[in-house]
Amino acid sequence: MTQLETVHVPLGDRAYDVVIGEGLVANAGARIAPLLGKKKRVCVLTDERVAALHLETLRAGLAQSGIEMAALALPAGEATKCWAELSRAVEWLLTEKVERGDVVVAFGGGVIGDLGGFAAAILRRGVRFVQIPTTLLAQVDSSVGGKTGINAPHGKNLIGAFHQPSLVLADVSLLGSLSPRDYHSGYGEVVKYGLLGDAEFFDWLEANGAEAAAGDVAKRIHLVKRSVEMKAEIVARDETEQGDRALLNLGHTFCHALEAATGYSARLLHGEGVAIGCALAFELSARMGLCAQEDPSRVRAHLSQMGMKTDLSDIEGELPDADGLLDLMAQDKKVKDGQLRFILARGIGEAFVTSEVPKEQVRGVLIDALAAR
Ligand code: GLY
């Protein structure tokens, strides 16, 4: 095993560690055993794709420490974040006789982490859970910070609870089984951290992001660790998003409108939308005279250097016009008292939250971005 990194999420009696490194699934038992009482058994929620690739490694990794495992594999994909699959998961956990003191394991990407965490939050009024995120997006974002939930017909993530995990095992060996597109989608969230609060990290990504994408393990560990450190620090300041946690939504107001416009389909993955959204948020910031004119070009240059979607022209098929996109933005759940909240930037690494954004400026950015398609 190569180097291991641990990031502590300091949340008082809900504090936990995020362990980042290689081979963590193969050795999961040693890390999970201290959380268990006399009953050496865990229930694992996963998806069919992850189960086919990695479930036997997890089973062996738990067995090494004498931990037995039962698993339920749900269908892979965003459609699983629904009442029917949640109810199936909770009923299964009850059938498996999971008690208050037991530990549930969520083994998958963001969908399984969100649904599994929510199932753990509501089962017997809350049982502990361990996140073993299998995608880059889940390792750097959704597995950390305790947001759990499912989607509603009214919109994404509208039903849920804050429920912090007891441990997160981010095994970078799993990233090798991601398609380049899924890796790059997660990388959209990584770039976001540099852009929102750490210009040096963005410099590092410009110099090292391509090697990390090509498989350099030490670089992958570094980029996951730095992302998790930044998320942990923001979550510790504002666990339930009363203020600063909204910084993590850099690029997301544009992203959510684009995801809605593309029907939450494979036309645009979440992290791809975040990347394009970050570029648009910097464009808006530059037009408002908040950051240098060069900053949006630098953001776009890095995304295209990485072979990522950068502009609206990279999204295939029809998109609504600027007013249509503005309407979709207004439906974002981050709207407060009817005011759209934006995360803008005074420069790379200097994001802030504001409601003071003239609609005409946003419309102007969208009209120009659509015209370039
Ligand atoms: N993904 C944004 C947050 O956890 O707050």
Asked if 366 and 219 sit in the same domain, the reply is yes
pLDDT exceeds 60 at position 314: yes
Q: What is the pLDDT of residue 321?
A: 97
Residue with token string 């609206």: 312
Kindly state if the Cβ of 141 falls inside 6 Å of ligand 1: yes
The rounded radius of gyration (Å) of the Cα atoms in the chain is: 20
Asked if 12 and 23 sit in the same domain, the reply is yes
Tell me the CA–centroid distance for residue 145 and ligand 1, in Å: 7
Q: What is the pLDDT of residue 2?
A: 64
Amino acid at 11: L
Domain assignment of residue 234, given as a range: 180-371
Residue with token string 């504002």: 238
Q: What is the pLDDT of residue 335?
A: 63
Structure tokens at 352: 């802030």
Kindly state if the Cβ of 156 falls inside 6 Å of ligand 1: no
Kindly state if the Cβ of 194 falls inside 6 Å of ligand 1: no
Asked if 233 and 267 sit in the same domain, the reply is yes
Least confident of 172-176, 260-264, 338-342: 338-342
Task: Select from 35, 114, 124 the least CA-distant residue to 74.
Answer: 114
Amino acid at 361: Q
Residue 189 Cα: closest atom of ligand 1: 1
Task: Enumerate residues 6+ apart whose C-beta is below 8 A from 7.
Answer: 17, 18, 20, 225, 228, 229, 232
Q: What spatial distance separates the first Cα and last Cα of the chain, rounded to whole Å?
A: 47
CA distance linking residue 63 with residue 162, whole number of Å: 31
156 vs 239 pLDDT, higher one: 239
Q: pLDDT grade, residue 344 (50/70/90)? A: very high
Nearest CA to ligand 1 atom 3: 248
Tell me the CA–centroid distance for residue 142 and ligand 1, in Å: 7
Helices (H), the chain: 28-32, 48-63, 83-95, 110-122, 136-137, 180-197, 199-214, 217-237, 252-261, 270-287, 294-305, 322-330, 359-371
Asked if 287 and 160 sit in the same domain, the reply is no
Q: Are strands 351-354 and 342-345 parallel, antiparallel or unpaired?
A: antiparallel
Task: Select from 266, 252, 260 the least CA-distant residue to 77.
Answer: 266
Which whole-number Å values give the CA distances from 324 to 22, 177, 289, in the listed order? 45, 37, 26
Asked if 293 and 326 sit in the same domain, the reply is yes
Least confident of 178-187, 190-199, 336-345: 336-345
Kindly state if the Cβ of 145 falls inside 6 Å of ligand 1: yes
The per-residue pLDDT for range 44-56, each reduced to its tens digit, is 999 999 999 999 9
Residue 235 Cα: closest atom of ligand 1: 5
CA-based torsion, 62, 67, 73, 78: positive or negative = negative
Count Cα atoms within 13 angstroms, Cβ side, for 367: 7
User: Domain end: 117, 145, 177, which one?
Assistant: 177
Which whole-number Å values give the CA distances from 108 to 73, 141, 309, in the listed order? 10, 13, 24
Kindly state if the Cβ of 252 falls inside 6 Å of ligand 1: no
User: Domain end: 152, 177, 202, which one?
Assistant: 177
Q: pLDDT grade, residue 155 (50/70/90)? A: confident
Q: What is the pLDDT of residue 338?
A: 67
User: Domain end: 146, 177, 208, which one?
Assistant: 177
CA distance linking residue 311 with residue 324, whole number of Å: 18
Kindly state if the Cβ of 270 falls inside 6 Å of ligand 1: no
Percent of the chain with pLDDT over 90: 93
Percent of the chain with pLDDT over 70: 98
Q: Which residues pair with 47 in a beta bridge?
A: 74
Asked if 246 and 318 sit in the same domain, the reply is yes
The per-residue pLDDT for range 52-101, each reduced to its tens digit, is 999 999 999 999 999 999 999 999 999 999 999 999 999 999 999 999 99
Structure tokens at 350: 């200097």
Asked if 109 and 189 sit in the same domain, the reply is no
Kindly state if the Cβ of 245 falls inside 6 Å of ligand 1: yes
Q: pLDDT grade, residue 43 (50/70/90)? A: very high
pLDDT exceeds 90 at position 331: no
Asked if 19 and 159 sit in the same domain, the reply is yes
Count structural domains, the chain.
Answer: 2
Amino acid at 313: S
- Long-range (24+ apart) CB contacts under 8 A made by 335-341 are 340/253, 341/246, 341/253
The per-residue pLDDT for range 230-251, each reduced to its tens digit, is 999 999 999 999 999 999 999 9
Helix-strand-coil split of the chain, %, nearest 5: 55, 20, 30
Asked if 156 and 254 sit in the same domain, the reply is no
Among 131, 136, 147, 164, which is best to mutate for testing ligand 1, by the most ligand atoms less than 8 A from CB? 147
Q: Domain containing 14 — which CATH number?
A: 3.40.50.1970
Asked if 110 and 191 sit in the same domain, the reply is no
Residue 147 Cα: closest atom of ligand 1: 4
Task: Judge whether 115 and 87 are in contact, CB under 8 Å.
Answer: no
pLDDT exceeds 90 at position 330: no
Structure tokens at 105: 């394991």
Instruction: Name the average pLDDT for the chain.
Output: 96
Kindly state if the Cβ of 146 falls inside 6 Å of ligand 1: no
Kindly state if the Cβ of 272 falls inside 6 Å of ligand 1: no
Q: Are strands 68-74 and 342-345 parallel, antiparallel or unpaired?
A: unpaired
* Chain centre distance of CA 255: 13
Three-state secondary-structure class, residue 297 = helix
Kindly state if the Cβ of 248 falls inside 6 Å of ligand 1: yes
